């Protein structure tokens, strides 16, 4: 089951995070401390996901109101997942939702939105049951296409480590709520991408993260990374600087980068040629609560190579081979049955868990057993 969607993005300055001099000093201090310990880290521009919503392309302005703050409110039919998790043995819970849809500029206070991030922190309910109950309503198999509007600003990796990963993140959320009516307004919230990569013999690819990465070292992950504003501007002839104005004039270039970036990450991390990858299918968005609700667009990507062929290419080493140390394959049945009672679950990093749960909900490769 797949969503039929059109995409249009608004990269605007008003969707950037709010800041002040004290916060900028804090970000710089965090960055300098991290780089002193991990000198291989480097900064770079990222897209900041403020919010998104679905609307009919016949009347987008009437059915998709202007942007509110980026809190989670149930709405249309694109799958999204609010994922609260950790990397150890602490209690976990995840709250399944149907969409993120927001309506006012980021400096306006919220009156009618429901933020389920905090409410799920101490729950221990069976999330698989919640997912099963909502799966039939979250996947479209017929009907007219929908317009997916992503509201994007700019941020960077340094800001991400200094806000979402800061020891002061709880205080930043409280300040954002008190001063702007939005607990995320001071956070970087960079938009990531991830891929459930399926081989020709129906095996899903996982890679074990190196200890020399900034997050979730040693855990199993799916291939992924970030869409890059720099790449968009280079393609638009603006190689010297990243210009929001240029990207706003060509939103289709941002859309292209969103989809092509996930394939580029597969190529660089797994060493699979782009020619062997089919068009990515967007399954939904997962929010990682080990990094204060950082969003990641999760895709399903088919590969024309067998798992043995992929394994051989992986061990030859790609452009980003240093980011992982091993490759693991799971059959479709294993993927569909993965949950927190599975021994492998504790080895998955939080973002991979969100992608797995979206895959189990959407089933983009069909209902039949393909393993």
pLDDT for residue 317 is more than 60: yes
pLDDT tens figures, 145-185: 777 788 899 999 999 999 999 999 999 999 999 999 999 99
8 Å CB contact between 332 and 356: no
Least confident range from 46-55, 65-74, 179-188, 353-362: namely: 65-74
The whole-number pLDDT of residue 198 equals 97
The full set of domains in the chain, from first to last, is: 16-51+148-190 (no CATH), 191-370 (3.90.79.10)
Tell me what the pLDDT averaged over the chain comes to. 77
Sign of CA dihedral 191, 109, 54, 134: positive
pLDDT for residue 191 is more than 90: yes
Question: Token pair of 277, please?
Answer: 């990858």
Q: Which of 6-15, 120-129, 160-169, 217-226 has the highest mean pLDDT?
A: 160-169
pLDDT band at 234 (very low <50, low <70, confident <90, very high): very high
What secondary structure letter does DSSP report for 322?
G
The whole-number pLDDT of residue 330 equals 96
d(CA 64, CA 9): 13
User: What pTM was estimated for this model as a whole?
Assistant: 0.78
Estimate to the nearest angstrom the gap between the alpha carbon of 207 and the chain centroid: 17
3-state DSSP percent of the chain in helix, strand and coil, to 5: 35, 25, 40
């Amino acid at each position: 089951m797949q969503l039929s969607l059109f995409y249009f993005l608004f990269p605007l300055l008003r969707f950037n995070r709010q800041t002040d001099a004290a916060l900028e000093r804090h970000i710089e201090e965090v960055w300098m401390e991290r780089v002193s310990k991990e000198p291989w880290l480097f900064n770079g521009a990222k897209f900041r996901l403020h919010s998104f919503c679905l609307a009919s392309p016949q009347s987008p302005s009437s059915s998709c109101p202007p942007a509110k703050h980026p809190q989670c409110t149930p709405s249309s039919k694109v799958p999204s997942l609010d994922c609260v998790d950790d990397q150890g043995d602490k209690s976990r819970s995840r709250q399944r939702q149907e969409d993120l849809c927001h309506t006012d500029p980021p400096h306006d206070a919220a009156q009618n939105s429901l933020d389920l991030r905090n409410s799920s922190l101490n729950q221990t309910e069976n999330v698989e049951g919640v997912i099963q109950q909502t799966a039939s309503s979250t996947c479209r198999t017929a009907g007219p296409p929908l317009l997916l509007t992503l509201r994007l600003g700019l941020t960077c990796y340094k800001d991400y480590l200094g806000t979402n990963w800061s020891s002061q993140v709880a205080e930043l959320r409280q300040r954002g709520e008190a001063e702007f009516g939005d607990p995320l307004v001071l956070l970087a919230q960079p938009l990531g991408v991830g891929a459930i990569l399926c081989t020709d013999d129906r095996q899903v690819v996982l890679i074990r993260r190196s200890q020399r990465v900034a997050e979730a070292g040693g855990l199993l992950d799916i291939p992924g990374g970030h869409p890059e504003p720099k790449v968009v501007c280079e393609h638009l002839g603006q190689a010297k600087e990243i210009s929001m104005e240029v990207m706003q004039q060509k939103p289709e270039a941002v859309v292209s980068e969103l989809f092509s970036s996930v394939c580029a990450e597969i190529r660089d991390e797994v060493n699979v040629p782009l020619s062997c990858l089919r068009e990515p299918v967007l399954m939904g968005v997962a929010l990682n609560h080990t990094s204060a609700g950082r969003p990641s667009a999760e895709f399903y990507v088919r590969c024309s190579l067998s798992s043995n062929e992929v394994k051989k290419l992986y061990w030859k080493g790609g452009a980003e081979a240093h980011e992982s140390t091993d490759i693991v394959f799971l059959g479709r049945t294993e993927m569909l049955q993965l949950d927190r009672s599975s021994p492998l679950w504790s080895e998955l990093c939080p973002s991979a868990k969100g992608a797995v749960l979206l895959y189990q909900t959407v089933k983009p490769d069909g209902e039949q057993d393909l393993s």
